[in-house]
Amino acid sequence: MADLRVSLCGVSLKNPVIAASGTFGFGQEFDALYDIGVLGGISTKGLTLEPRLGNPTPRIAEGYGVILNAVGLQNPGVEVFLRDDLPFLRKKNIAILANVAGRTIDDYAAICARLDGEVDLIELNISCPNVKCGGMAFGVRPESVKEVTRAAKAALCRTPLIVKLSPNVESIAANAAAAQEGGADCVSLINTLTGMVVDIERRRPLLANNTGGVSGAGIRPIAVRMVFEACNAVTIPVIGMGGITCAEDALEFIIAGAAAVQVGTANFTDTLAMPRIVEGLHSWMDRHGVKNLQEIRGTLRLNG
């Protein structure tokens, strides 16, 4: 079989398929369906210093080929994660990415300091569109991307830092470069796009939060384009995500330059989506005589 191993900021992954934050909990529910140890890694539910209840309901709406969510970073808090969830994940022999968020730059620095050395990588969520403060407020402008990245990186001694970028920006390349300048070891993208669904009978948005983050298969072409632009703007690794449902989708991102991929919404429609993607990568590479991912990574050639 083809060699799917990936080295991400010095962390070894058995394959490039990572569960995306907010779609996989902390892995235990999916492990009841299949051994999540077959995955390359898991990006945890977004963590904050203190527990959060999230936004009021309804928090999920559907569209054609997409869903909208406005969960609002509901989570049990970092201490509960360390006590109840991390021991389980450590037994699974997968890379553990702690996705973290905050209301202030000091919050980001503090949670990074608390998790330093406890997980394999920290993914800085500066791009969530569903919270009133923090989140995407830090991910819109290159200057703020650089500032929050620098503060988070200064709080870390042992753990590589991934910065998760928002697509709701003027230039994804500029923001990726700003994250690298701030000290990021890696960037991941895209987080959800901002959208709205209207209840035409009530003439009100379906989501209590009015807007929500759009994810799912329908956003993949946007995500691939942005990942390609980011890969050409930085020298650090890029993790691609957005609408991946099968191995062929994942290969688009890798050919565009991604070091690894994250799979999110597909887990809701097919609970076995990620192990199927891993198997599909093996099959495609074997059929095409590709021995390892490095042979095809970043090989996209533009027309004209």
What's the CATH number of domain 6-54+73-194+216-295, 3.40.630.30, 3.90.550.10, 3.20.20.70, 3.40.50.720?
3.20.20.70
- Tell whether the model's pLDDT for residue 135 goes beyond 90: no
Domain edges within the chain: 6-54+73-194+216-295
Q: What is the pLDDT of residue 139?
A: 83
How many C-beta neighbours within 10 Å does residue 107 have? 18
Q: What is the pLDDT of residue 280?
A: 98
Q: Write the Ramachandran bin of 215: left for phi over 0, alpha for psi from -120 to 50, otherwise beta.
A: beta
How many C-beta neighbours within 10 Å does residue 290 have? 16
- Tell whether the model's pLDDT for residue 83 goes beyond 60: yes
Give strand ranges (E) for the chain: 6-8, 11-13, 17-19, 41-43, 60-63, 66-69, 95-100, 121-125, 161-164, 186-189, 193-195, 198-199, 204-205, 212-215, 238-241, 260-263
Give the C-alpha separation, 25 to 43, whole Å: 9
Going by C-alpha positions, the residue among 264, 237, 231 that lies closest to residue 250 is 264
128 belongs to the catalytic site: yes
Marked catalytic residue, from 112, 128, 186, 231: 128
pLDDT bucket at 138, cuts 50 / 70 / 90: confident
Q: Please report the DSSP string for 193-209 in residue order.
A: EEE--EETTTTEESSTT
Per-residue pLDDT tens over the stretch 151-193: 999 999 999 999 999 999 999 999 999 999 999 999 999 999 9
Q: What does the buried/exposed string (b/e) look like for 180-205 if buried means 16 or more CB atoms within 10 Å of the residue's CB?
A: bebbbbbbbbbbbbbbebeeeeeeeb
Helix (H/G/I), strand (E/B), else coil: 6 = strand
Give the C-alpha separation, 169 to 177, whole Å: 13
Largest Cα–Cα separation, the chain = 56
Q: What is the pLDDT of residue 136?
A: 53
C-beta separation of 242 from 265 below 8 A: no
Q: What is the pLDDT of residue 129?
A: 52
- Tell whether the model's pLDDT for residue 13 goes beyond 70: yes
- Tell whether the model's pLDDT for residue 134 goes beyond 50: no
- Tell whether the model's pLDDT for residue 47 goes beyond 90: yes
- Tell whether the model's pLDDT for residue 130 goes beyond 70: no
Judge if the upstream peptide bond of residue 190 is cis by omega within 30 degrees of 0: yes
Q: Is the dihedral of CA 101, 124, 267, 120 positive or negative?
A: negative
